[in-house]
């Protein structure tokens, strides 16, 4: 007699009910669970194999690709090039008169005060001669504004009494560095700015250049100091400016300000840009694009684009010319305005593959 309680196991790949003696047997939960576990293991194995293959393929692809040098770029430009020199300055009057007396006369009265406006001939003070008792008036030699008062009633005179300046006739007194003075001459255009004028820009021209330094002019030169301003042509990757020794002397230069001068006041500190040279229709690149090759010749690296390959750089020998703080004039073969050039290219070589 058959045991009615005997359990029939399902095959691993069973997908439907199992029959015995024409009757469907109830599914075995334990067998079904084992099947699901095996199926998940097979799927996981396939996924892991596929992922490993993908990682290997990616690593192989990266290994096969060339290593590209990262660069920053500028452009070749064609146009006008202006060189300027920067200088600090101070607003002063072109018409200044110092009124003085050293006779020892007693100041009987002071008739003007600081910032008073006076006309030529206006009485400034009266003096009494200490020996004769004679009274005399001291008058303004020019029209202008009283900018300094040294006279004190009852004191004897011993030098300066008043300073008068014409506030409507202004100029700038600049201090030019020794390294720049040879480039500055009368008639050059100047752009002027000053704090407290709302960013307004004034214009003028260089009207005079002192033949001696300010130290020599004031008798303060230190003849024992070693003064030096050794300067080399500037390209950031090929050479650099070098200065050594004590502070270099400065030279005074004056600027006639074009009218109007509204907003400028005597004593204001100013900044100037002096246009020392302009060249028309020249080729320029950023200063940082120029370097030197092994032979000491200047060169730039022009970026070349390729349709189905990485960019490369081509070394081009150039000659340099006028330069300002940001760009430098170059001449050479096959220079095209708008082409990109590598900046700080000292570590590059001709034909090297690069990326921006």
203 and 270: one domain? yes
124 and 205: one domain? no
Q: CA–CA separation, 310 vs 306, rounded Å? A: 6
User: What pairs with residue 311 in β-bridges?
Assistant: 354
Quote the pLDDT of residue 20. 54
For 31, phi then psi, to 5°, come to -65, -40
For 2-44, write each residue's pLDDT tens digit: 555 555 554 544 455 555 555 555 556 676 677 777 888 888 8
Question: What are the structure tokens assigned to 229, written together?
Answer: 């301003």
Q: CA–CA separation, 210 vs 232, rounded Å? A: 25
User: Stretch 219-226: mean pLDDT, rounded?
Assistant: 43
* Under 8 Å between Cβ of 354 and 68: yes
* Under 8 Å between Cβ of 209 and 185: yes
The answer to whether position 226 is within a domain reads no
Question: What are the structure tokens assigned to 181, written together?
Answer: 């003075």
Q: What is the CATH number of the domain that holds 195?
A: 2.40.30.170
Of residues 162 and 38, the one with the higher pLDDT is 162
Domain count, the chain: 3
User: What pairs with residue 96 in β-bridges?
Assistant: 165
The answer to whether position 158 is within a domain reads yes
User: Residue 337 sits in which domain range?
Assistant: 69-79+282-355
| pTM score, whole prediction | 0.64
200 and 160: one domain? no
Quote the pLDDT of residue 230. 36
Q: CA–CA separation, 295 vs 301, rounded Å? A: 16
Quote the pLDDT of residue 168. 87
User: Stretch 269-281: mean pLDDT, rounded?
Assistant: 96
């Amino acid at each position: 007699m058959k045991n009615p309680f005997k359990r029939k196991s399902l095959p691993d790949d069973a997908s439907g009910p199992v029959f015995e003696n024409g009757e469907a047997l109830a599914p075995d939960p334990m067998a079904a669970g084992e099947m699901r576990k095996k199926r998940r293991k097979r799927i996981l194995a396939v996924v892991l194999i596929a992922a490993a293959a993908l990682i290997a393929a990616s690593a192989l692809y990266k290994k096969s690709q060339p290593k590209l040098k990262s660069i920053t770029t500028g452009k070749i430009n064609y146009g006008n090039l202006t060189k300027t020199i920067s200088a600090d300055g101070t607003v002063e009057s072109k018409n200044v008169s110092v009124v003085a007396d050293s006779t020892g006369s007693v100041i009987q009265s002071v008739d003007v005060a600081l910032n008073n406006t006076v006309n030529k001939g206006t009485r400034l003070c009266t003096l009494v001669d200490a020996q004769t008792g004679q009274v005399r008036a001291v008058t303004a030699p020019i029209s202008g504004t009283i900018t300094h008062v040294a006279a004190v009633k009852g004191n004897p005179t011993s030098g300066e009494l008043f300073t008068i300046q014409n506030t409507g006739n202004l100029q700038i007194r600049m201090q030019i560095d020794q390294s720049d003075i040879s480039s500055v001459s009368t008639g050059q255009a100047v752009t002027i700015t000053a704090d407290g004028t709302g960013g307004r820009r004034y214009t003028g021209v260089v009207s005079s250049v002192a033949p001696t330094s300010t130290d020599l002019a004031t008798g303060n030169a230190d003849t024992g100091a070693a003064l030096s301003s050794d300067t080399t042509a500037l390209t950031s990757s090929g050479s650099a400016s070098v200065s050594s020794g004590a502070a270099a002397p400065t030279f005074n230069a004056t600027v006639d300000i074009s009218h109007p001068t509204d907003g400028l006041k005597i004593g204001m500190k100013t900044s100037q840009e002096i246009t020392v040279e302009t060249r028309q229709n020249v080729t320029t690149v950023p200063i940082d694009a120029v370097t030197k090759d092994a032979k000491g010749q200047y060169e730039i690296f022009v970026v070349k684009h390729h349709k189905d390959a990485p960019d490369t750089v081509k070394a081009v020998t150039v000659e340099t010319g006028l330069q300002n703080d940001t760009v430098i004039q170059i001449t050479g073969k096959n220079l095209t305005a708008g082409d990109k050039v590598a900046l700080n290219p000292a570590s590059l070589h001709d034909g090297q593959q690069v990326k921006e």
